[in-house]
Amino acid sequence: MPDATYVRDAFARIADRYVLTNHVLSLGADIWWRKVVAARVKSWRAKNLLDVASGTGDLALEIQDHCTDCEVTASDFCAEMLAHAASRGVEHTIVADALHLPFGDSSFDVVTVAFGLRNMADYPAALREMRRVLQPGGRLVILDFSLPGGILRAPYRLYLHHVLPRLAGWLTGQRDAYEYLGGSIEAFPSGTAMEALLRDSGFTDPATTPLTGGVVSLYEATRPAMP
């Protein structure tokens, strides 16, 4: 699993160019991916939501704009990234480590994490902490990269390991901050492996929705209701 200090320092260095770089590298698809999550949250009529590893606040802003009755809180352990979220209009931000969230038990209806769990030092511990702050019956949503199958797999891996780091390096001036990305995606559990991890972490009804041919996957799970 990733080294937390390296990840925090890397994101601090690319914070100023992070949003633009994501749009370019995904050909704008990242905007649609977040709209899918926001639509899910809106359908649940959540009243309060925690966006963990919120970074520059892209997902938090999408949900805040489309779910006007939901109070959105964005947390991230990189203060430089979160400063951008606040300046872009995220109303509630807090610098916090996802492994030690500064919230009471059962504080939120929904917890989201987009492209963040993969960068955490301990996936099960992070998931258990997200479960803790969810209300019984509350929902967890994870949006992250995965590897497509079929004919897309080989060209995508070529892009991931060779094209993307060079392009990201040109855009940010920090190529080394993206060198680890391909390996982290390869190692990250996806599909049934992620569903098993969610069950082991105390969630029920895990489900996977591949997006854009499986380049990204949306995972949903529920904290069990109290007996």
Q: How does pLDDT run across 177-218, given as a tens digit for each residue?
A: 667 777 888 899 999 999 999 999 999 999 999 999 999 999
pLDDT cut 70: percent of the chain above it? 84
Quote the mean pLDDT of the chain: 88
Crossing angle of helices 79-88/58-66, nearest 10°? 30
Comparing 30 with 202, the larger pLDDT belongs to: 202
pLDDT band at 159 (very low <50, low <70, confident <90, very high): confident
Single out the residue of 1, 28, 36, 23 nearest to residue 210, CA to CA: 36
* Residue-wise pLDDT tens digits, 61-89: 999 999 999 999 999 998 988 999 999 99
Q: Which residues of 121-137 are buried (b: 16+ CB within 10 A; e: fewer)?
A: eebeebbebbbbbbbee
Whether the predicted pLDDT of 7 surpasses 60: no
Angle between helix axes 4-14 and 18-25 (nearest 10 degrees) is: 90
Flag whether pLDDT at 111 surpasses 60.
Answer: yes
- Checking if the pLDDT of 18 tops 90, the result is no
The conformational region for residue 25 under phi > 0 = left, psi -120 to 50 = alpha, else beta, is alpha
The per-residue pLDDT for 171 is 67
- pTM higher than 0.75, yes or no? yes
Q: Is the pLDDT of residue 105 over 60?
A: yes
pLDDT of residue 122: 95
What pLDDT does residue 88 have?
Answer: 93
Over residues 40-55, the pLDDT tens digits come to: 999 999 999 999 999 9
